[in-house]
Amino acid sequence: MQINRNHSRIAFLVLVTMFTFGVIASGQDDKSLVASANGQGTIKLGKEEFKVYAVVVKLFEDNKAEINVVSDISIFVNGTWSRGSDADKSIDLKITGGSVNGNLDGGGKLLLKDDRKAIAGLNLQIMNKATKKPIKVDFVAK
């Protein structure tokens, strides 16, 4: 298997991000969450499809959310989040923007592991209002 410079840079970025967020996450409470996970999945942008290698999620106390999907291309989306019942290990996401606020609209679910502090998976269905192209993310953590 040949590793090119872009994959090396992405892997390095993911490792640095995971370390940074891991340090931050160790002192957090139940009202916020900063987590990352390596895994596998896909991101579909219209008719194009790319592999997803990692996800970084920041959920803030004021119910704002920032999600970074690391792939051959990376997407950054933001929106809001809400937690279901205590028995539910999923977080509902409403996507309202991306790198340019207001150009994305959609939703999805962040699936948490049993400890409710680590990512198990992510599913997003988003519409880019400017290009009218759908964006779909399916990710499962390792």
The pTM of the whole model exceeds 0.85? no
By C-alpha distance, which of 51, 52, 54, 8 is closest to 35? 54
The range of the structural domain enclosing residue 125 comes to 5-141
Question: Could you tell me which residue, 41 or 115, shows the higher pLDDT?
Answer: 41
The per-residue pLDDT for range 44-62, each reduced to its tens digit, is: 998 999 999 999 999 999 9
Q: Which of 5-9, 32-36, 56-60, 74-78 has the lowest mean pLDDT?
A: 5-9
- Which CATH number goes with the domain that contains 117? 2.40.128
In the chain, the number of structural domains is 1
At a CB cut-off of 8 Å and minimum separation 6, what does 139 contact? 37, 39, 40, 41, 52, 55, 69, 121, 122, 123
